[in-house]
Amino acid sequence: MSDKKKKQKKKESEKLSEQEEMERMMLISKADEVVGEQLSIDIDGTIQTEDELKKFALGDIDDPERKYDIYYKGIGKLLKKHLPEGKEYKNARDYIYEEKKTYLTRGHRIDEKGIRGADSRMGYIEDAEKILELITTWIINKGSMVDLYTTLRDLNIHMGYGKPNHE
């Protein structure tokens, strides 16, 4: 092949590469035009765009105030009010608290040294809401301590968190 033909092929190849690169860039730039925005209509009928990426990324973001309210003002307050008081019921309450804490830490059971390795107050909001729902249902149905314990224990077993250490 002559030098002239080689140069011509090289130019054609470069031209093709440039054209392919331009096509890639056009495709990529088109994708950039619509990233994360979509029209939506709010309750008042106003059309607006919303950044779906933010909605997706921040959907389950931690809300410390809400978590505090659910844990202390919801779960803690209801259990304190509806579980029997006194020394004679301490072990029974502790069994219920253990199952609650195991669920809220997604399976971290307390070990023989008394260490859980996780803090149930820092768990996921949706888990705390689930426990709150179970407790309120238990109260509404006027359930016994056995009912609450078995509900929480069975939930932990179902989730794969294992059986309690005391069984």
Task: Give the pLDDT confidence of 80-101 residue by residue, as tens digits.
Answer: 999 999 999 999 999 999 999 9
Q: Distance between CA atoms of 96 and 99, rounded to whole angstroms?
A: 5
pLDDT number for residue 161: 93
pLDDT band (50, 70, 90) for residue 103:
very high
Question: 48 - beta bridge partners?
Answer: 40
pLDDT band (50, 70, 90) for residue 145:
very high
> What pTM, to 2 d.p., does this model score?
0.64
pLDDT band (50, 70, 90) for residue 164:
confident
pLDDT number for residue 7: 75
- Torsion-angle region of 117 (φ positive above 0: left; ψ -120 to 50: alpha; else: beta): left
Q: Distance between CA atoms of 97 and 152, rounded to whole angstroms?
A: 9
pLDDT band (50, 70, 90) for residue 107:
very high
Handedness of CA 96, 101, 104, 109 (dihedral sign): negative
Q: Does 92 or 12 have the greater pLDDT score?
A: 92
pLDDT number for residue 54: 54
pLDDT number for residue 127: 94
Mean pLDDT of 138-160: 94
**Residue 112: strand, helix, or coil:** coil
pLDDT digits (tens, 9 = 90+) for 62-75: 788 999 999 999 99
pLDDT number for residue 42: 55
Percent of the chain at pLDDT exceeding 70: 75
